[in-house]
Structure 1
Amino acid sequence: MSRLRTWTRDLGMGARFAFGGGREGWTRTLLTGVGVGLGVALLLISTAIPGALAARYERGDARSTTSTAQADTPGPDTLLITRINQTYRGKDIEGYALRAEGPRAPLPPGLERIPGAGEMAVSPALGELLKSSEGALLRERLDGPVSETIGDAGLVGPGELFFYLGSDSLAKNGPDDYRVGRVTAFGYDAQRDGLDPVLMLMVVLTFVALLMPVAVFIATAVRFGGERRDRRLAALRLVGADSRMVRRIAAGEALAGSLVGLVLGTGFFAVGRSLVGSVSLRQRSVFPADLDPAPWLAALVAVAVPAAAVAVTLFALRGVVIEPLGVVRTAKPSRRRIWWRLLLPLVGIGLLLPMGGRGNDHGRFNQWQVGGGVVLLLVGITALLPWLLERFVGKVCGGPVSWQLAVRRLQVDSGAAARLVNGIAVAVAGAIALQMLFAGVEGDYTEPTGQDPQRAAVAVLLHGRDGTGTDLAERIAAVPGVTRAVPLTSTQAAHQLPAEEETVDVTIGTCDALGEVAVLDSCTEGDAFVVTGSPSTDAFYGGRAEPGDELFVGNVRRYEAAAADSPTPAKWTVPAGARTVASREDPTGQLRSGLLVTPSAAPKEIGDFPDARIFVQVDESGPDALDRARNAVFGADPFVTAMTLRHSTQAAGFSSIRTGLFFGAAAVLVLIGGSLFVSQLEQLRERRKLLSSLVAFGTKRSTLSLSVLWQTAVPIVVGLVLAAGTGVGLGAVLMSMAAQPVRIDWPSVLGMTGVGAGVVAAVTLLSLPPLLRLMRPDGLRTE
């Protein structure tokens, strides 16, 4: 008989044992299938993520007007558009105001018609928020009738908060009005810059660190029921099968379980895909249709998982002697050797160390070398953990009965206990290393804004003809919870017309307001000040003036092109008593130059001014004060910008990778919990008769429950200690590669270790009810 026919026959016999072994065989195959299926589902999701991200970018580009042609004059095919983004209870809401200037104005993706004046087109998620009780305060702001719901083609995700507002007052005030665009089409031909070497390194590491636990769990799942399977194979030896044949039969059983896992994994993926549209993490969501794995990647998973199942089974049987009268593994196992277990992490470190200190200055990292080094380090955990656990429990003796039962069980078969926690140890080690790398490079991708949220939570920016802001400031100040609303207006002045050199910045406000931009020893209404200390060298706005100088105030650069209803620059003399004061950063971090004047000393005719700001402080202990202030701003003028002040901003690429890590970590955490629970149930099922025997002989159930808890806790403690050490070491190597000083991020180390321990504790508690059901004397019944 040819070798192929022999393998086919024996694999087929193993598959028949898997499906035809009665309830016992079906239970074992189902547990294996569920464990493998959870891993397959996550693998399919991982292979679909790049396509989902690309689809998000494509839809975002399709509705963008960043690079579209701008028209100079109104026409039958022009559309006015401006951004009017909002924030509500910490959530960002993207919005645009639209006004069609002709019958053929371009239509934004996802809309059937351009909203009329005062009408809104909203995303489904925003529509639900507006209808809910949580959105009651937002309804006061976005109170227009909803003309339609934006279709999927106009949204980057199903959970996006997005709207279009129709307006009949939107206008473009000349070519210098960059707030409002006059477009003839939508669409943005993106030419995105590639990620720098460190960010690309982080992407590679994220995928490796998140997928390695999946591979470990799949390898563990195909070994469910190993002890019972080996006893059954011993019976086959008794009827004439040789050692090679029984190994092929065992591989056939594993292959059958992995195929069931592929089917279940595809089902889990389909269910998860249908539910993904209702999940939003950090305001990021994905359409189910976008979660579509590349065919070649899906085919690779379909081939790799069964092949890995067969390989793992054959590898697991390499040291097991299956004889007609039993399995030699039931005796005390030989001591594990350490030398080859250390080779894996040492080779991994050897691959990573040559790239130390490169950072962003020496080209791209070799992705295969990085991935290979990290994989070997993480696989080294799975090799070292059984050895460490064996050495630990081998030296333990004495203690309560529950402790002795647990230790004896671990001494007999520490490998099964190590396999139970291998995946968690790998996940924790990878997460610690990634968190250290993220913390180490965060400073390179985070820039301070210079803003001071303690002095003002929001800066309201008025533009052009929006007014001086005094009325709006009074309206905001009257909102409950607003403690202060300080308006400042600015205009330009020049010594001659037209202004050919530097212009002088003139800031107008009350003494209280001027104290936000200068150090004032004293101030009364009618005072004026000359500001010093600003480092501004701007050729347009860095000019100086002295007391008694005669200036022209208003639109001093383009006054001849100003609209007919805009006054020409007026003459004004700087008060002779103007004192010199030092400039002070305002809440947005800006240092003013030029002149500061109180209202009674200010020029009477200032014309169009390009800048007016209101700094708003709120009592954060009160409910919704900030959103009520935003409502007042939007009610006064939807086109006014209400900018939330922040200490720092983060690079978009870094933020996106961290968000992706958050998504992946959440999915892996679910897999860890589910697979660990299945593994625990499988081990309890195999020990059903042993537990029933102990109960029948009078052992307390509490003692047995504690022994099961110890059997889980001891490997977890050893595994987490090994994971923390490996994670810190890997993190140090990665930080060195990114040219960052090595420091241990202890909050991350303790946090990720605690998460791993928490998952195990939750699974152990959930497994107690099945354990109590198994501890019954009738479990001794057999057929």
Structure 2
Amino acid sequence: MNVRQWGRDLALGVRFTLTGGREGWTRALLTAVGVGLGVALLLLTTAIPSALDARHDREDARTDISWMDTTVPPKGNDTLLVADLDTEFRDQEIRGRGMEPEGPDAPVPPGMDAVPAEGEMLVSPALKELLESDSGKLLRERFPDRITGTIAEEGLVGSQELTFVRGAEGLAAHLDDSSVTRIDHFGPIDSTSSDELDPVLLLLILVVFVVLLMPVAVFIATAVRFGGERRDRRLAALRLVGSDGLMTRRIAAGEALAGSVLGLVFGTVFFLIGRQLAGRAVVFDVSVFPSYLNPSPWLALLVGVAVPAAAVLVTLFALRGVVIEPLGVVRTARPARRRLWWRLLLPLAGLAMLYPMIGQGGGNGDFNQYLVVGGVVLLLIGVTALLPWIVERFVARLGAGSVSWQLAVRRLQMNSGTAARMVNGVAVAVAGAIALQMLFAGVDDDYTKSTGQDVTRAQMQVTLSDSAKPSSSAEFRSTKGVEDVYAYSEGSIGDRPMNPEDSEQVTVGDCTALRQIVRLDSCADGDVFAVLDPSYDSAIDTLTEPGRRLYFDPSYDDFPGARIEWTVPEGIKEAGERVGLTNNTTTGFLFTPGALDDKALSSLRTEVYLGLDRSVPDVQERVRNTAAAVDPLARAEVWSSVTRSEKFTAIRSGLFVGAACVLALIGASLLVTQLEQLRERRKLLSSLVAFGTRRRTLGLSVLWQTAVPIAVGLLLSAVVGLTLGTVLLKMTGTAVRIDWPSLLSMTGVGAAVVLAVTLLSLPPLLRMLRPDGLRTE
């Protein structure tokens, strides 16, 4: 068979699709919508790398404060002082900067024409919208500055990013503070530090991409087979007029090719619409500009070639066991029983590819990316191969019941393959999700660390800058929702003003605060305490000798200090050790405020720990407002008992974003599939109604036809998901344990999607349940 003959037959199939009247156009439209949804998601996936690169480039272009760069340029006409004013509002991160030019040639941040003056502020469009809304009234109290404009797109990493830049003065006095620095340009800081992912995180990323993309491929393969029964009847007519079996198959492939090409057009349109909508979306604090979502030309070309090619191959594969004769299609008789042996080879081959990597990762080397991808793909494809066989065997044993049950069972027994194809995508998605949830739950402890913060005694911490007065902590006591305030001024004291030989920690707080970190027998304002434990630190005995001169904030070669002299008084009391609020023990000297003058107190930095009444609405935001009013450079932190790796959290957030898109695709594609099946059975349903069958009975039969395959599919997906999850945990050297809540929740989500699709298909079903559906031309 030459290429010319193939081309003529494929072209004839395309012509039948485009000139086949309403039936042909309806089938082509359904195929195009189904394929288009999958293509849109594939194009979105191919655009993710460019979107991430664009966000990274934008972030690099506006870099001003880098914790890795310790060099500060000298003051000049081209320097700018920058303060880190990051904050939060109702769990939304807000990037903030205070800026003070030191000369006429000071750099200007991207997205701005000039640095705002003191008392003025530039904000992102999203932050401006929030501040002007009713929900942002409490946040507006935190920013007394006048808004003079918005930051342009060049200065933002996302369309919905919340960020601001305030004009400031006097920042030079805070250069010793870690939140203030001097720069002479905006841009990335050169660094030799490695930012490579560890093998387990890389494994997570690979599995996430495979699990999210596999259902898309399955749905595209299902969509190109829409209208199979009607197509087979047309092919039988072609056999009647003289075409042979091979020619009819090529014509069918041409019809699928036309639908897939039309699907590429629909998918491009869906992608462009979704691209614009993405500019308004925020998913797990991540937003993008539409301009970011530009698919790689090579990847887009690969999608454009792979989808039509897959459509032709899937159609030819589907017709391999169908005998098309001039008088009908043999598939309408009882089909041959499906064979199991080759279906088991796929998951077994997947396990064989993953087996050599058990115990890898960490110090044992990296995972082979090709084996990981190939093994996971084969295991998930095994779901699609095993499901038709299992459904066929299961429905063959179903027996008597209500009329609706018998109608559904008989339909499933006659054509179980169509039902299995409908739920294939759901089964693959759920199997992958279960495996990923097991993997995430298994390695979660490796990326979760205890903070040591005692959240039973305090729920927030506020760090004031060096210039803040310790007495300013009293402002928090009048903040609504604050129940307890423990303020500590901390620093050091040494035996010499310069490069002391012996030095100790200094903590200043009232009696209530001190009792949270040490054990005291008695306490009154004006008392001085010391933690006397020679086994821990022998210097404290010599430093507490009455009459000895000590120096607060002594200087060192590289760090100048205040060097404030203080004479050790008589009657220093002993304090006992106690685990403090941050799970550590306090040593050295402890002072009540009345024991020191203002000069000594000014050399210390103040930390405020707050106990909150969580029943008060927005109590955390009220604390942040108070902190900003007391000290613009204050940093307010909400306490938690544990903290997770940012990379691990980012990967998990990416999974949720992708899962949301895949679930939307699953729902939309299932709905299209259901509508296509109802359309093919319209005359049969109308005949049943004409003979007196109740609509309620037919509606329940449609529900049973969906529920039975999905139940079998979810059971299979649970088995495959648990198997894949166990292998992945073995690969990472993690103890295997089943995350039952995640397993049940993933299974429930899959069932809920199918149930929602079934309910949405009821209105069209009711419209079809009319006797006039028997009319024909």
Would you say same fold, with TM above 0.5?
A: yes
Structure 1 stretches of at least 4 aligned residues deviating more than 4 Å after TM superposition:
67-72, 189-192, 532-537, 541-544, 558-563
Structure 2 equivalent of residue 475 of structure 1 = 475
2:637 to 631, 634, 643: 643
Deviations 1:209-239 (CA, angstroms, capped at 9, x unpaired): 0000000000000000000000110011001
Residue 552 of structure 2 corresponds to residue 554 of structure 1: yes
Instruction: Report the TM-score when normalising by structure 1.
Output: 0.96
2: distance between equivalents of 1:229 and 1:255?
A: 14
2: distance between equivalents of 1:719 and 1:535?
A: 66
Deviations 1:497-522 (CA, angstroms, capped at 9, x unpaired): 32422311121111101012113344
Structure 2 equivalent of residue 161 of structure 1 = 162
2: distance between equivalents of 1:582 and 1:714?
A: 66
Question: In structure 2, do the counterparts of structure 1 residues 81 and 517 end up closer, same or farther at CA, with 3 Å as the change threshold?
Answer: same
Describe the SS at the equivalent of 1:234: helix
1:553, 1:606 within 8 Å by CA — same for their partners in 2? no
Residue 568 of structure 2 corresponds to residue 573 of structure 1: yes
2: distance between equivalents of 1:13 and 1:656?
A: 50
Residue 420 of structure 2 corresponds to residue 418 of structure 1: yes
Q: Give the residue type in structure 2 aligned to 1:462.
A: L
1:529, 1:581 within 8 Å by CA — same for their partners in 2? no
User: Aligned ranges for residues 528-539 of structure 1 at < 5 Å?
Assistant: 528-531=528-531
1:460, 1:613 within 8 Å by CA — same for their partners in 2? yes
User: Aligned ranges for residues 48-447 of structure 1 at < 5 Å?
Assistant: 48-65=47-64, 66=66, 70-173=71-174, 176-189=176-189, 193-447=195-449
Structure 1 equivalent of residue 13 of structure 2 = 14
1:582 to 569, 573, 577: 577
Offset of residue 173 of structure 1: 4.5
Offset of residue 155 of structure 1: 1.2
Offset of residue 576 of structure 1: 2.2
Q: Give the residue type in structure 2 aligned to 1:580.
A: A
Question: In structure 2, do the counterparts of structure 1 residues 466 and 327 end up closer, same or farther at CA, with 3 Å as the change threshold?
Answer: same
Deviations 1:124-166 (CA, angstroms, capped at 9, x unpaired): 1111110111100001111211122111111111111111111
Offset of residue 476 of structure 1: 1.4
Deviations 1:739-782 (CA, angstroms, capped at 9, x unpaired): 11111111110111111001001000000000000010001111
1: distance between equivalents of 2:757 and 2:547?
A: 79
Q: Give the residue type in structure 2 aligned to 1:548.
A: P
Residue 761 of structure 2 corresponds to residue 767 of structure 1: yes
Deviations 1:326-367 (CA, angstroms, capped at 9, x unpaired): 000000111111111111101100110111011212222111
Structure 2 equivalent of residue 513 of structure 1 = 513
Kindly tell me the number of residue pairs found equivalent between the two proteins. 773
Offset of residue 423 of structure 1: 0.2
Describe the SS at the equivalent of 1:770: helix
Structure 2 equivalent of residue 707 of structure 1 = 701
1:722 to 716, 725, 744: 716
2:81, 2:182 within 8 Å by CA — same for their partners in 1? yes
1: distance between equivalents of 2:546 and 2:121?
A: 53
Question: In structure 2, do the counterparts of structure 1 residues 232 and 479 end up closer, same or farther at CA, with 3 Å as the change threshold?
Answer: same
User: Aligned ranges for residues 629-640 of structure 1 at < 5 Å?
Assistant: 629-640=623-634
1:750 to 744, 747, 760: 744
Structure 1 equivalent of residue 679 of structure 2 = 685
Structure 1 equivalent of residue 492 of structure 2 = 492
Q: Give the residue type in structure 2 aligned to 1:115.
A: P
2: distance between equivalents of 1:463 and 1:346?
A: 62
Describe the SS at the equivalent of 1:516: coil
Q: Name which of structure 1's ranges 32-41 and 136-145 shifts more when overlaid on structure 2.
A: 136-145
Structure 1 equivalent of residue 650 of structure 2 = 656
Question: In structure 2, do the counterparts of structure 1 residues 660 and 306 end up closer, same or farther at CA, with 3 Å as the change threshold?
Answer: same
Question: In structure 2, do the counterparts of structure 1 residues 676 and 542 end up closer, same or farther at CA, with 3 Å as the change threshold?
Answer: farther
Paired-residue identity, %? 54
1:32, 1:257 within 8 Å by CA — same for their partners in 2? yes
2: distance between equivalents of 1:169 and 1:190?
A: 28
2:455, 2:639 within 8 Å by CA — same for their partners in 1? yes
Structure 2 equivalent of residue 465 of structure 1 = 467
Offset of residue 608 of structure 1: 4.0
Q: Name which of structure 1's ranges 456-465 and 754-763 shifts more when overlaid on structure 2.
A: 456-465
User: Aligned ranges for residues 736-747 of structure 1 at < 5 Å?
Assistant: 736-747=730-741
Offset of residue 483 of structure 1: 1.0
2: distance between equivalents of 1:655 and 1:534?
A: 44
Q: Give the residue type in structure 1 aligned to 2:102.
A: E
**CA RMSD, aligned part only?**
2.1
Offset of residue 548 of structure 1: 2.9
1: distance between equivalents of 2:751 and 2:487?
A: 53
Describe the SS at the equivalent of 1:491: strand
2: distance between equivalents of 1:695 and 1:53?
A: 55
Offset of residue 443 of structure 1: 1.3
Structure 1 equivalent of residue 32 of structure 2 = 33
Describe the SS at the equivalent of 1:143: coil
Residue 593 of structure 2 corresponds to residue 591 of structure 1: no
Q: Name which of structure 1's ranges 762-771 and 444-453 shifts more when overlaid on structure 2.
A: 444-453
Describe the SS at the equivalent of 2:171: coil
1:554, 1:607 within 8 Å by CA — same for their partners in 2? no
Describe the SS at the equivalent of 2:531: strand
1: distance between equivalents of 2:570 and 2:748?
A: 67
Offset of residue 549 of structure 1: 6.1
Describe the SS at the equivalent of 2:295: coil
Q: Name which of structure 1's ranges 569-578 and 697-706 shifts more when overlaid on structure 2.
A: 569-578
Describe the SS at the equivalent of 2:587: coil
Deviations 1:89-140 (CA, angstroms, capped at 9, x unpaired): 1211111111001000011111111010011111111111101111000011
2:577, 2:586 within 8 Å by CA — same for their partners in 1? no
Q: Give the residue type in structure 2 aligned to 1:581.
A: G
Q: Give the residue type in structure 2 aligned to 1:38.
A: L
Question: In structure 2, do the counterparts of structure 1 residues 173 and 404 end up closer, same or farther at CA, with 3 Å as the change threshold?
Answer: closer
Deviations 1:539-590 (CA, angstroms, capped at 9, x unpaired): 9x99974363624232222599869xx6x5222214424123113222x344
Describe the SS at the equivalent of 1:43: helix
Question: In structure 2, do the counterparts of structure 1 residues 667 and 533 end up closer, same or farther at CA, with 3 Å as the change threshold?
Answer: farther
Describe the SS at the equivalent of 1:606: helix
Deviations 1:646-669 (CA, angstroms, capped at 9, x unpaired): 222222221111111111101101
Q: Give the residue type in structure 1 aligned to 2:686.
A: S
Q: Give the residue type in structure 2 aligned to 1:271.
A: I
2: distance between equivalents of 1:18 and 1:164?
A: 59
Describe the SS at the equivalent of 1:646: coil
Describe the SS at the equivalent of 1:171: helix
1:533, 1:583 within 8 Å by CA — same for their partners in 2? no
2:43, 2:295 within 8 Å by CA — same for their partners in 1? yes
1: distance between equivalents of 2:211 and 2:614?
A: 40
